[in-house]
Structure 1
Amino acid sequence: MPLDLGLLALVHVLLLVYWLGGDLGVFYCAGFLIKPELPVATRLTVMKILHFLDQAPRICLVLILPVGTTLGLRAGYLRFDPILLLPLWIFAAVWLWMVLVLATKARTKLGRYVAKLDLAMRFVVITALLFVALRSLAGDGPATGSNWLAAKLIVYALLIVNGLMIRLTFRPFGPAFGALIQTGSSPDVEATLRRTVHRVRPVVLTLWCLLLVEAYLGLAKPF
């Protein structure tokens, strides 16, 4: 295997590892946020740790697209004009910038504007992935002849959908946690925190399963 191809494969694997690993850390931290016996200051510290760990999956979600596409092209599993890699990497760079803005300035005017753009970009990516995958499975797409790779594109699209579901399901947590910080613990606040975390857990477990399927398809190339 050429050196550059080996490095691309290594980066691709590491992105998957940090995606799943960071998500495991977030999942573990979330359990401490719903423990009413812990002081508010402790739970606030846990929230800061959770927020930091949560950036790894968000960054990996973005970077795995251009890295995986470049790897697929270099390895011969994808067939398209290599010049198209440049706009893909520019697109990914803009998307990554949005993710970093949302991580640091989500409550600002810029952050609210970027949040809308980020949501729109995710729908664009989902649509493009499904289009390319289905065209390839039909015998007229960049991944034609590599059905396992077309399936990976579908799973990646589902991962983005799953992330949006996590975001939607977890939405009540922010206001409730803000109330906890501002006014202290109360039965209603604790119930909302606990209910939200319990509801999001099945969605997160689904994400882990999708990541394992994605890894299996890339390693085994079963069809």
Structure 2
Amino acid sequence: MTIGIALLTLLHILIPIYWLGGDLGAFYSSTFMTDPKRTVGERMMALKILNNIDMAPRTTLILAFPTGFALAWAKGWLAVPGFAVVIAAVAFLGWLALAWAVHLNHGGGAGIKRLDIAIRYGVLIALALTGIAGVAGDVAIPFFIALKLCIMACCIGLGLIVRRQLVPLFGAIRTMTSTGPTAETDAIIAAVNGRARISVLTLWALVLIASFLGIATPV
């Protein structure tokens, strides 16, 4: 194994490490946000920590494909030209910059937010179609890579579902910060987090399966 391939392998291995680690931190922080015994200030601080930590899994989700694509090309698993790897890397780094712009603007900037969502749907569809075609044998890619593409599409889909699940949370938080917590706002916050946690746990399972496939590399 050359140094270049070793570094690519290490980089790709770090993806699930930071993905699951960041998700675990966000998961734990959410317990403080939903705790009615905490003050409003403490709960808002937990929310701020959660939002910042959550950028680790959001970043690794975007980097998962270009690092895996480059590694598959370097190991000869995919018969694609080198410039395709470079184009993918540049495109996904551009998407990553956009995702960070949305975060740093605290979700503001309707235009860049819509663009980010549109890219997620586009990438989801492209990965799903390619993965399904690979599983069916219509595209000449290794079976384990086809499965990983399908899993990646599911992960992006779950991320979009979580975003929708969190929508009622924003109104409850605004009410809590302006008038103080109530039984109704606490119930909404707890319910939203309960639904989102199911999606997050499912996502964790998918990341672990994808990691296993990358290690086992079944044909």
SS at match of 1:203: helix
Residues 184-207 of structure 1: CA distance to partner in whole angstroms, max 9, x if unpaired? 111111111111111111111100
Q: Give the corresponding residue for 1:32.
A: 32
In the alignment, which residue of structure 2 is the partner of 1:120? 118
Equivalent residue, structure 2, for 1:98: 98
Paired position in structure 1 for 2:78 = 78
User: How many angstroms does 1:22 deviate by?
Assistant: 0.2
The alpha-carbon deviation at position 142 of structure 1 amounts to 5.0
How many aligned positions are there? 219
Question: Structure 1: where are the runs of 5+ without partners?
Answer: none
Q: TM-score, length-normalised on structure 2?
A: 0.95
CA 150–55 in structure 1, closer or farther in 2 if over 3 Å, else same: same
- Map of 2:49 onto structure 1: 49
- Out of 165, 168, 173, the position equivalent to 1:172 is 168
Separation in structure 1 between the aligned mates of residue 211 and residue 140 of structure 2, nearest angstrom: 20
Displacement of 1:133 in angstroms is 1.9
SS at match of 1:222: coil
Amino acid paired to 1:115: K
Hey, what's the Cα distance between the residues in 1 that align with 2:40 and 2:106?
23
TM-score by length of structure 1 reads: 0.94
The answer to which of 6-15 and 175-184 deviates more is 175-184
CA RMSD of aligned residues (A): 1.3
CA distance in 1, matches of 2:140, 2:178: 53
Distance 1:133 1:44 in 2: 40
Q: Do 1:80 and 1:142's aligned partners in 2 also have CA atoms closer than 8 Å? A: no
Tell me whether 1:183 sits opposite 2:179 in the alignment.
yes
Gaps of 5+ in 2: none
| Counterpart position of 1:135 | 133
Secondary structure at 1:172's aligned position in 2? helix
Shift of 1:55: 0.5
What is the aligned-residue identity percentage?
33
Following TM superposition, by how much is the alpha carbon of 1:76 offset from its aligned partner in structure 2, in angstroms?
Answer: 1.1
Per mean C-alpha deviation after superposition, the further-off stretch among 174-183 and 55-64 is: 174-183
Contact persistence 2:107–2:113 (CA under 8 A): no
